[in-house]
Structure formats: structure tokens, C-alpha cells
Structure 1
Amino acid sequence: MYYIDESGIPRTGFALYTAVGIPVADAPHILRTWQALREEWCKNHGIPVDYELHASDFLAGRGRPGGRNPLKIERYRMAQQALDLIGTHPGIQIVTVYTREPAHWGVAKRRAYDRLLRGLDRRLAEAGETARLVVDGDGSEHLYSEVHEQVRPGRIPVTAVEVPAHTSAWLQMADLAAYSACQAIAQQQSREFMWGWYARHLPKAAPPKPC
């Protein structure tokens, strides 16, 4: 199963997709480990276990989880803990694809998702496996079904299912990985503290691939 989230900077036409591959057999253990981390945050920082971890807001200091407002340095450390959890598990795969189309962010998104889908299909074919995709969304995005119909990936039998991220720990993991990849590439000055996170905390991830 691959869980997918997008990131990027719309005004510059920079679009990015990150897929986090979760082995079915390992999923229960990974989820228990994630739950234990969230319980630790609740105990130490007052952040409810079911509070949605949305990286761009959380790391910018927006939101008051559980009525509290953790210091930014605390938020940074928590995000790095979460990335370490993802990055140290031997079975988790992370794939990032990005592109730029300054005149049209929608075109960039479509191109990036197309290349991600083709890349995942090749990986699965080499491994002799099939997979399903879950992407953050509310069911209103036609891009995923349209690109799937065009690519017709043999190892991914059905189009991605859209699920709201606040209901899925897996998609929140993908969101954090995607945002880290975004900042590794875009290197916004306001997020300089994140520039090295993708390589440092997700060392087994394939380097982000331009298309």
C-alpha cells in the first residue's frame, strides 16, 4: 500500500508528490509505534493523540493543539521524531517526484503525479508485486483518475482512493515526508531549519526525482 501526499509552492509552479510505501505485514507494528509516539506527545506536550499533524501549519506554529501552543523548537523536535520513526523502519519505502511549470501549477501537478505513477508501477513490476494507492483528498480531485486512465499502470489495478488526512495516520506521515522533501528542494529561507531533514531523517529514501 502506498500513501501519497502532495506539496509544493503554487505561486512558483513547483509541484511535488511523495509516496510512502507500507508493507501490509508490517503495518500493525508501524501503527502501534506511531500511536506510542503520539501518546508520548500527549503526555509531554499536551497534544491530543487524534490531533491532525499537518506539517506546514504545525511547523509554522499555527494551531493550538489541545488548547496549548508548543514552542516552535518543540514542534521541530516532534516532527523530527516522527520522521525518524518513518525513516528507520526497514520496510517503509519513500518515493518523491517533483516538477516545475511556472505558468501553470495544475500542469505541474499532473506531470508530477504521472511520473510518480509510472515510477511506482516500474518498482512493483521489478518486485513482482501489486499495490493500491491512497491519497489525501475529499473525492473531488479528478486528476488521479484521469492520469490513471492515461497511464494504465499494470501493477496498480485501480485508481487512487481519496481519504481525508485527518482520518489517517498514514497520510499524516506522507504529509510530513512530502513537506520535508519540498523544503529540501525549494529551500525557502523561512524554512532553512528543514533543508537537511529529508536526507538526514529519511536516509533510505530515494533522492527526490525531477521530471
Structure 2
Amino acid sequence: MESKEAAAAWSGFREELHGDPLLNIRRGDILRARKLAAGQGRPRIPSTGRGPSKAERWEYRKVLKRGLATIASLPGTTVGTARSGTANVPATAEAVLGRLAARHTAHGTAALAVIRTNTAAPSWYDLTPVPAAAAPPRPAQAPSHVQAGVEELLEAAEFVAYCAYQHLAHRPNRRFLWEWYPELLPEAEGPLVL
């Protein structure tokens, strides 16, 4: 997992947003895909109006598109999604980890996976192949160089998940998002049906 380079690239993207004169995104702001898609953000110029103007809302929405383009270029990263017919989050996470572990075993590659469900603290899993044929992914400690960038990478993952969901759901009020996921991430895998 080359997360150090990927986290640095995502941090660079965030810095570009901070410097963009069409946005009012501050360093340290959390970028929530759902809020960006709704055009929520601070107005560029404080006024007596409530919230950003219509033009500013579109600039906030375009942050999602810019984010997907950044994600497409992240080094050492494979993008994919999964969906489940159940609301059982732990079972879904276990199924995703099982599929990822099977893939890495088949390819003889190693990986470190991080999963955060809802607002829970991230959980790390070692997907390095082991001799036992059906060994489940093992909980792991994140290396210190990875821990520093995990929030940035989880933020990027939220962009992918939200845009992939909108691509599949085809919600009319998010029509502008429907094709961003396949257009900007054509190499993305999935959705993996669990």
C-alpha cells in the first residue's frame, strides 16, 4: 500500500481547494461528499444572504468531480465499490475483506485494508497471503506512516462511494452526478455484489 504518496496527493488536492478563489474551503475543513453534492459550503463573500449563491453551489458540487479526477491519479491505489442487499454493516465489511483477501491470495500480493463504518474508528486488516488456504483477514496495527494520512484517504473513499451510489441510484436531484463515476474512474472495479 503506497498510502503515503496517495495521502500526499489528496492533501495537495485539498490545498488546491483552499487556494481556489471560487470556493471558501479552509484548511482542516472536512469534505463531505453528500454536502458538496447539495452545494453546501460557505459563501465566498460574506453577505446578508443565507448560504452560497447558485453559482457558488455549483462550484462546491464540482469539487466532487475534481476529487474523482484526483482519485483516478492516486499512486498505488485501486478503486472499487461493493454493495450488499443487507443493512448488516459488520457482515458487509467481512464480505468485502474476504473478497479482497481472496484476490490478494490469488495474485500473491499483499495489502493493508482500512474500513470505517459510519463514524466508528477505522479498523485495519492485513491482507497478506498466508499458507492456510482459508485464513480470514487479520486485524492489524496501522504503520505510523500510514496513520497520518488515513483520514484523507477515507475522505477520498467517501467521494467514490457517494458518486458510485448516485450512479446506480439515479436520483433525479443528483442527475449531474450520474455519469461522473464511470467517466472519471473508468478503471474502477465493481460494484462487487456481496
| Alpha-carbon distance in structure 2 between the residues aligned to 1:160 and 1:183 | 33
Q: Is 1:115–2:95 an aligned residue pair?
A: yes
Q: Alignment partner of 2:82: what SS?
A: strand
Q: Which has the higher contact order (CA 8 A, sep 6+)?
A: 1
Choose which of 187, 192, 203 in structure 1 pairs with 2:170: 187
For structure 1, the 5+ residue unaligned runs are: 1-22, 146-151, 162-166
- Against the structure 1 CA distance between its residues 31 and 74, is the aligned structure 2 distance closer, same or farther, given a 3 Å change threshold? same
Question: Over the residues paired in the alignment, what is the CA RMSD in angstroms?
Answer: 3.3
Work out the percentage of aligned pairs sharing the same amino acid: 24
Q: Is 1:29–2:18 an aligned residue pair?
A: no
> Is the contact between residue 118 and residue 153 of structure 1 (CA under 8 Å) also seen in structure 2?
no
Choose which of 65, 79, 84 in structure 2 pairs with 1:80: 65
In structure 2, the partner of 1:138 is 120
In structure 2, the partner of 1:3 is none
Choose which of 124, 135, 139 in structure 1 pairs with 2:104: 124
In structure 2, the partner of 1:6 is none
Larger relative strand fraction: 1
Deviation per residue, 1:39-64 (Å, 9 max, x gap): 22111123112111110122212343
In structure 2, the partner of 1:8 is none
Q: Which moved more, 1:63-72 or 1:109-118?
A: 63-72
Q: Kindly state the Cα deviation for residue 184 of structure 1 after the two structures are TM-superposed.
A: 1.2
Q: Is 1:60–2:38 an aligned residue pair?
A: yes
For structure 2, the 5+ residue unaligned runs are: 126-132, 143-149
Deviation per residue, 1:61-94 (Å, 9 max, x gap): 2343897747221122221111111113453112
Q: Kindly state the Cα deviation for residue 35 of structure 1 after the two structures are TM-superposed.
A: 2.0
- For 1:125, the aligned partner's letter is T
In structure 2, the partner of 1:38 is 14
Q: Kindly state the Cα deviation for residue 98 of structure 1 after the two structures are TM-superposed.
A: 0.7
Q: What is the total number of aligned residue pairs between the two structures?
A: 170
Larger relative helix fraction: 1
**Structure label with greater radius of gyration:** 2
TM-score by structure 1 length? 0.67
Choose which of 72, 93, 96 in structure 1 pairs with 2:81: 96
- For 1:58, the aligned partner's letter is L
| Alpha-carbon distance in structure 2 between the residues aligned to 1:91 and 1:140 | 20
